[in-house]
A and B are shown apart, each in its own frame.
Chain A
Amino acid sequence: MIQEEDNVLIFELSRHGCRASAQAPRQRADTGSLPRRFLRRNAPQLPEVSELEAVRHYTRLSQKNFAIDTHFYPLGSCTMKYNPRGANAAAMLPQFLERHPLAPASTGQGFMACIHELQDYLAEASGMRAVTLSVMAGAQGEFAGVAMIRAYHTARGDTARDEILVPDAAHGTNPATATMCGYKVREIPTGADGDVDMDALREACGERTAGIMLTNPSTVGVFERRIQEIAQLVHEAGGLLYYDGANLNAILGKARPGDMGFDVIHMNLHKTFSTPHGGGGPGAAAVGVGERLLPYLPIPRVVKEHHGYRWLDENDCPDSIGRLGTFAGNAGILLRAYAYVRMLGREGMVRVGEYSTLNANYLMARLRDAGFTVAYPERRASHEFIISLKREAKEIGVNVMDFAKRLLDLGYHAPTTYFPLLISEALLIEPTETESKRELDGFVDAMVRIRQEAKDNIETVKGAPYRLPVRRLDDVKAARELNLRWTAQG
C-alpha cells in the first residue's frame, strides 16, 4: 500500500499521463467564436492523477477537518452550532437550484415568497420595522448599517457629527466599519462588572456623536443591563444605535433589539440561522431598521402586491444607500435560514435562546467548580463566557495557547483564545444550544486533565498537539512570511 504523506498537495501527486475522465467535459468546447488572442497557447498545468487517486486524496483531506460535524467546537462569539441537514435539503430543491437570477420575477414567485416571509419573520424576531436580505455577510451588514446612519444625518443637514462610539469590548470589525464609513472611532471603556462605563459614555455623547455600535450580549459574555439608558443617552445626543448581531443566539426569541432602542441591526444568518460559520464559506446578513432609517435600506427587497411578489429597486427607493451585492444576496443561505425559521417556529426560537444560555451557564458553573477562574463571577453568562487562565500561567507556567493546542489532541476544538483583549489569558467559550450534557462534561474533564498534565510534566502540554496532521505552528513566521502560492520545485 502506498501511504500518501500527510501534507501532500494534489500537484505533488501528479504523474504525467494519468487521467481522471469522470469530471471531464464530454466534448471539446467550441472556441471558434473567441478572438485568438484570448486563447491559450499551452495547456494549463493541472495535476494529473487517476480518478481513484483523486478520490482518495480529497477523502483524506476531508478527514483532516476539525469541524462541528466531527467535534465539539466551543469557539466563542462564533456560534458553531449544528445546522440541521433538513434546512439544507429544503434549500437544495431543484426548483430553487435551477432558478436563474435574471429570469423574470413571474417565474420566481415561490422563491420570492420565501424571501418575503423571511424578511417579515426576521423583522418580527428583532423588533425592527423592515429587513433587507441582500447583504452578503456580517462585515458588509455593519457597513450597510453605518452607511445608513451617515445617510440619515446627511439628509438632515446634520453634517458635523464625525464620531462613532465603540465600547472597548467590541468586535474588531466595529471600529473598522466606522473608519470605512469615514467616521472617527471613540472608544468607551468597560466597567468592572462587564457593562459599558456609563460615566464615560455620558461624557462622550455630544454634538459630534453620529451613533454607537454595540453588541448585546457583549463580547465579554454578559447582557448589557443598562441598554435602555444607553439608548436614551445616545438618542438625546442626536446619535443612532447600531446592533451588532454577532451574539444574537443568546437572546433569540427572548428579547428584541428593536425594543431595546436600536435603530439598525445586522443578523448573521450564517451563524444563528443554519449555515456553518467560518471556513471561508458564503455568509449572509439580514439588516433590519427602525422607522428613521427605512428610506435608506439597501435594495433589492421583496414586496408583496396584489398581483404577487415584486423586487423593490432604485425607482421605489430613491434614498436607498444602494446595492451591496449582485442580485438578491446569497440566495441559498437565505433559503436555509427560511427553512430553519419555519422548522423552529416561534416556540423553537425561544428554546434556542434558552438552551444556548443554559448550556453556557452549566459549563461555566462546572469549570468554576473545577477551580478555573471565571472572568465575571458575579454575572450570569449569556450564550458564552470567559475564563481567565492567568493563575495557571503564573503558578504552573501554561498559557491559553498551550491549553488550546492540547484540547485539539483530546478531541475538542479550542475556544476563542486571547479575546476579548480586556481579560488576560482569556478563553471565550460558547457551547451553543445543540450540545448534550455529556459533551459539556467531557470538555470539563479535558480541561481538568490538561491542568493536571501541566502540573505533572509541563512539556506534555507545551509540546501539544501530537495527534493532528501538523504540530505547533510558527505563528510569527505565518504572519510575517505569508506565502499561499504553490510553485513547482526545481
Chain B
Amino acid sequence: MSEVPLDLKYTRSHEWVRLEDDGTVTVGISDHAQAALGDLVFVEPPEAGAELSADEACTVVESVKAASDVYAPVAGEVIEVNTLLDDTPELINSDPYGEGWIMRLRPADAAELDRLMSADDYRQLVAEE
C-alpha cells in the first residue's frame, strides 16, 4: 500500500498539494503515482513565472514506461521549480513527498484549495484502482 500523508491535499490525477505558511502551495506527485510510473528518467516542469490555470497540463514526467502529464491542482503563478529534478529525477521515486517536490505555486484563489481531495478520500481512490 502506498503512502498517503494525512497533512496533504490530493487530486484525482494523483498530484499532492501542501499549503505552506506563506499562502503558497508546494506540488508533487503521489507515492502511488511514482510507483505506477516506474523509474523516472526526465522531468520537464513549467518555467518560474508561468501563469497556470487549474487542471492545466504543466509538467511532463517521463519514466522507462511512459511519458505522462502532471496537472496544476489549482490556478496560480509558478514561483519556484525544483531544479534538482533536472539531473536527479529519481528523487520523485525515492522521496515523492519531500525532495521530489516539483513546483511551488501562488494560488490565484485560495478558496480553490477546498475542492481538492482529503487524504482519506485519496486513499480510497488509490485502493479502488
Residues of chain A touching chain B, judged by Cβ–Cβ distance below 8 Å, are 172, 417-419, 421, 424, 475-476, 479-480
* Cα separation A480 to B68 with both chains bound (whole Å): 17
B109 to chain A, nearest CB (A): 24
- Across the interface, which residues of A come within 8 angstroms of B64, CB to CB? 475-476, 479
CA distance in complex: A418, B67 (Å): 12
> Would you call A476 and B39 a contact (CB within 8 A)?
yes
Residues 15-39 of B at the A interface (beta carbon under 8 Å): 36, 38-39
B64 CB to nearest chain A CB (Å): 4
Cβ-neighbour of B36 out of A419, A424, A479 (below 8 A): A424
CB distance from A288 to the nearest CB of B (A): 31
How far apart are the CA atoms of A480 and B42 in the complex, in Å? 8
Enumerate 7 A-B pairs (CB-CB under 8 Å) in ascending A order: A421-B68, A424-B36, A475-B39, A475-B41, A479-B62, A480-B41, A480-B42
B84 interface residue per 8 A CB criterion: no
Whether B129 and A424, one on each chain, are in contact in the complex, defined by CB atoms closer than 8 angstroms, is: yes
Query: Does B115 count as interface, using CB distance less than 8 angstroms?
Result: no
0 or 1 for each of B46-69: is its CB under 8 Å from A? (1 = yes):
000000000000000010111110
- Bound-state CA distance A479–B39 (Å) is 10
| Complex contact A479–B68 (CB within 8 A) | no
**A194 CA to B92 CA, complexed, in Å:** 31
Taking the nearest CB of chain A, how far is it from the CB of B67, in angstroms? Answer: 8
Inter-chain CA distance A19–B62, complex, in Å, is 46
| Complex CA–CA separation, A480 to B62 (angstroms) | 11
Q: Which B residue's beta carbon lies closest to that of A481? A: B41
Nearest neighbor of B66 in chain A, beta-carbon distance:
A421
10 more A-B residue pairs beyond the given contacts A418-B65, A476-B64, with a C-beta to C-beta distance below 8 A: A417-B65, A418-B38, A419-B66, A421-B66, A424-B129, A475-B41, A476-B39, A479-B41, A479-B42, A480-B42
Closest to B67 in A: A172
Which of B39, B64, B90 is the most central at the interface, judged by chain A CB atoms within 10 Å of its CB? B64
Q: Which B residues are in CB contact (< 8 Å) with A419? A: 66
Q: Give A473's nearest chain B residue, CB to CB.
A: B64
Which residue from chain A places its CB closest to the CB of B41 in the assembled complex?
A479
Say yes or no: B41 contacts A476, CB within 8 Å: yes
CA distance A419 to B67 in the complex (A): 12
A401 CB to closest chain B CB (Å) equals 9
Q: Report the separation of the CA atoms of residues A476 and B37 in the bound assembly, to the nearest whole angstrom.
A: 12
**Residues of B close to A172: CB separation below 8 A:** 67
Set B41, B62, B66: member contacting A418, Cβ < 8 A: B66
Bound complex: CA of A251 vs CA of B66, how far in Å?
A: 29
Bound complex: CA A479 to CA B62 (Å): 10
Distance in Å: Cβ of A130 to nearest Cβ of chain B: 36
Question: How far is B36's CA from A476's CA once the two chains are assembled, in angstroms?
Answer: 15
Q: How far is the CB of A435 from chain B (nearest CB, A)?
A: 27
Q: Which of B78-93 contact A (CB under 8 A)?
A: 90
- For residue A263, give the distance in angstroms from its CB to the closest CB of chain B: 28
Interchain nearest-CB distance for B81 vs A (Å): 19
CB distance from A490 to the nearest CB of B (A): 29
Q: What's the minimum C-beta distance from A420 to chain B, rounded to whole angstroms?
A: 10
Contact partners of B62 in chain A: CB under 8 A: 479
Q: How far is the CA of A74 from the CA of B12 in the complex (A)?
A: 34
Question: Closest 7 interchain pairs by CB?
Answer: A475-B64, A479-B41, A418-B65, A476-B39, A480-B41, A421-B66, A476-B41
A167 to nearest B CB, angstroms? 16
Residues in B whose Cβ lies below 8 Å from that of A418: 38, 65-66
Contact with A along B86-121 (1 / 0, CB 8 A): 000010000000000000000000000000000000
Chain A's closest residue to B36 (CB) is A424
Q: Which residues of B are found within 8 Å of A479, using beta-carbon distances?
A: 41-42, 62, 64
Q: For residue A480, which residues in chain B have a CB less than 8 angstroms away from its CB?
A: 41-42
B65 — nearest CB in chain A belongs to which residue? Answer: A418
Query: How far apart sit A431 and B39, CA to CA, in the bound complex (Å)?
Result: 30
CA distance A419 to B38 in the complex (A): 14
Residues of B within 8 A of A476 (CB): 39, 41, 64, 90
Tell me how far the C-beta of B69 lies from the nearest C-beta in chain A, rounded to whole angstroms: 9
Residues on A with beta carbons closer than 8 Å to the beta carbon of B38: 418
Q: Point out the residues of chain A lying under 8 angstroms from B67, CB to CB.
A: 172
CA distance A223 to B41 in the complex (A): 35
